[in-house]
Amino acid sequence: MKLLTKYNQVNIAATVTILLLSGVVFYFFIEAALIHQLDKTLIQEEKEITAFIKENNRLPEPNDSKEEQETYTPAGNQPIYRSFQSVTAHYENNKRERLYRQLEFAVAADGRLYRADVRKSQVETEDVIQLVSKITLAIVILLLAVLFVISRLILNKLWKPFQVTLQQIKAFNVSMKDSVQLPSTTINEFAELIEAVEQMTQKAKKDYQEIKSFTENASHEIQTPLAIIASKIELLSQSDNLKEDQMHTIQSIAETTNRLAKLNQSLILLTKIDNRQFGATTPVDVSRMVLQILYNYEELFLSRSIQIKQQIDPGVKQTMNEALAEILIINLLTNSFRHNVENGSVTVILQDKYLSISNTGNAISTLPELLFERFRKEAVSSESMGLGLSIVKKICDIYHFKVTYQYQNLLHTITIHFS
């Protein structure tokens, strides 16, 4: 649930309740006040009647008008209590009953006891009360409308810095080059939030950069000792009179060192691509490059009797870094060689929109979507590093190419869709 909705729910419920409640209280207070006023005029009437009787020793003329009525009834034996009450009564000969406020009291005239009823119309009072109720209701409706408009327009606007900040946080990536673009605001809470986000993202980026440059430096520093080890092994292997098991050991060290060096080189390459350290992009003649690399690898495929089929459209150009383009194509081709089988085949198709390389090979157990992850490899050729395809993916990401993998009819196909 949105904060705004929740806030509105509570706010509107409270407002409506209070307004209705106050409407009811208002109603009773006004009614009580008006009736009190009526009662005071009735008491005045009573005084005047009593004064009249005292002076004239007779009852005044009864009155039966619409607004005011005075009636005198012989009391008989019934006791008469002075009392106020609201009653309905007819006036003159009118059939309709009206609401009146009545004061009942006892008067004595001509030596007899009468019950005097003085009434005053209460209808006006009711009108006033109705009006008050209507006004209250109108206020409630108006208030709701205003609240609605406020929440729609003003609150949405007020929350804007928050929304923008949220968007920025969602889009944030530690490897981003530029810093996050946060809005400015005069609202303290948001200003505080934005400041915190700013500090946090900057720190995350700084930490990431530090880790990255550490990795990079470490990788570079490792190259030299590796070069020394490799050279010493090579010298050692030149020694005369090596025993067979010593030769094996030397070979095993040599291969492992080689693997380590390759792994390190791949990691350096990945870091470099990550850091966008391949600057210059030029229109690269992909067709020519593919043909050239295929030509270079021809004998390699031949050595395992792998047939090369190619359908390469001439003049396919992509604007990218030439070295990266070469790495991309070489990685794909060597991949199709490494995972191929004796007497297999590789098919290279290059068109304006895509480059696809299919090769025969054993079925893989890895999920296709995991294939491009780092260090993902199939057990069959365990000497490979599993970094080749993640390098392919990285390069494609830079140029917004889409890479897909398909396994169908015993053919593994990797397709690069140019953007």
Partner 1 sequence: MKILIIEDEKELSDSIATYLKTEGYRCEFAADFYTAIEKTEQFDYDCIVLDISLPGGSGLEILRQLKADKKMDGVLIISAKNSIDDKVIGLRLGADDYLAKPFHLAELSARIAAIIRRKHFEGTDIIKFEAITIDAKAQTVTINGRSLELTRKEYELLLFFVSNKNRVISKNAIAEHLWGDDLQGNYDFIYTHIKNLRKKLDEADYIKSVYGMGYKFSL
Q: Which of residues 221-250 bind partner 1 (CB under 8 A)?
A: 223-224, 226-232, 234-235, 237-238, 244, 247-248, 250
Place of tokens 């050692």: 236
Query: What DSSP string describes 300-354?
Result: HHHHTTPEEEEEE-TT-EEEE-HHHHHHHHHHHHHHHHHT--TT-EEEEEE-SSE
- Using CB under 8 A as the binding rule, whether residue 304 contacts partner 1 is answered as yes
Q: Which is nearer to partner 1, 169 or 268 (CB)?
A: 268
End-to-end C-alpha distance for the chain, whole angstroms: 40
- Only one of the segments 6-14, 78-86, 271-279, 367-375 lies at the binding site for partner 1 (rule: CB under 8 A); that segment is 271-279
Q: Which is nearer to partner 1, 194 or 391 (CB)?
A: 391
Q: Which of residues 386-405 bind partner 1 (CB under 8 A)?
A: 388
Q: Which of residues 349-388 bind partner 1 (CB under 8 A)?
A: 381, 383-385, 388
Size of the site for partner 1 (CB under 8 A): 49
Q: Give the span between the Cα atoms of 148 and 142, in whole angstroms.
A: 10
DSSP state of 154: I
Q: Give the span between the Cα atoms of 221 and 66, in whole angstroms.
A: 112
Q: Give the span between the Cα atoms of 165 and 185, in whole angstroms.
A: 11
Q: Which is nearer to partner 1, 69 or 266 (CB)?
A: 266
CA distances from 21 to 13, 35, 135, 145 (A): 12, 21, 14, 19
Q: Which of residues 90-109 bind partner 1 (CB under 8 A)?
A: none
Applying CB under 8 A, which of residues 91, 114, 190, 297 lies at the interface with partner 1?
A: 297
Return the C-alpha torsion angle 315, 319, 324, 326, nearest 10.
10
* Least distance in angstroms from the C-beta of 240 to partner 1: 10
* Least distance in angstroms from the C-beta of 231 to partner 1: 3
- Only one of the segments 22-30, 116-124, 265-273, 357-365 lies at the binding site for partner 1 (rule: CB under 8 A); that segment is 265-273
Q: Which is nearer to partner 1, 99 or 293 (CB)?
A: 293
- Using CB under 8 A as the binding rule, whether residue 48 contacts partner 1 is answered as no
Are the C-beta atoms of 418 and 351 separated by less than 8 Å? no
Q: Give the span between the Cα atoms of 416 and 333, in whole angstroms.
A: 13
Q: Give the span between the Cα atoms of 102 and 88, in whole angstroms.
A: 9
Cα 160–chain centre separation: 13
Q: Which is nearer to partner 1, 137 or 380 (CB)?
A: 380
* Least distance in angstroms from the C-beta of 263 to partner 1: 9
Q: Give the span between the Cα atoms of 93 and 84, in whole angstroms.
A: 25
Q: Give the span between the Cα atoms of 259 and 229, in whole angstroms.
A: 13
* Least distance in angstroms from the C-beta of 325 to partner 1: 12
Applying CB under 8 A, which of residues 251, 307, 310, 319 lies at the interface with partner 1?
A: 251
- Using CB under 8 A as the binding rule, whether residue 220 contacts partner 1 is answered as yes
Applying CB under 8 A, which of residues 42, 286, 327, 348 lies at the interface with partner 1?
A: 327
Q: Which is nearer to partner 1, 8 or 265 (CB)?
A: 265
Return the C-alpha torsion angle 162, 167, 173, 177, nearest 10.
-90
For 218, half-sphere exposure in the C-beta direction (CA atoms, 13 angstrom radius) is: 9
* Least distance in angstroms from the C-beta of 253 to partner 1: 11
Q: Which is nearer to partner 1, 251 or 319 (CB)?
A: 251
Classified as helix, coil or strand, 384 is coil
Are the C-beta atoms of 242 and 254 separated by less than 8 Å? no
Applying CB under 8 A, which of residues 43, 128, 147, 262 lies at the interface with partner 1?
A: 262
CA distances from 263 to 210, 217, 371, 385, 386 (A): 21, 15, 18, 7, 9
Applying CB under 8 A, which of residues 122, 125, 201, 331 lies at the interface with partner 1?
A: 331
Q: Give the span between the Cα atoms of 128 and 26, in whole angstroms.
A: 12
- Using CB under 8 A as the binding rule, whether residue 337 contacts partner 1 is answered as yes
- Only one of the segments 173-181, 194-202, 259-267, 409-417 lies at the binding site for partner 1 (rule: CB under 8 A); that segment is 259-267
* Least distance in angstroms from the C-beta of 264 to partner 1: 9
- Only one of the segments 90-98, 153-161, 220-228, 401-409 lies at the binding site for partner 1 (rule: CB under 8 A); that segment is 220-228
- Using CB under 8 A as the binding rule, whether residue 30 contacts partner 1 is answered as no
- Using CB under 8 A as the binding rule, whether residue 344 contacts partner 1 is answered as no
- Applying CB under 8 A, the residues found at the interface with partner 1 are 220, 223-224, 226-232, 234-235, 237-238, 244, 247-248, 250-251, 254-255, 257-259, 261-262, 265, 268, 272, 277-278, 296-297, 299-300, 303-304, 323, 327, 330-331, 334, 337-338, 381, 383-385, 388
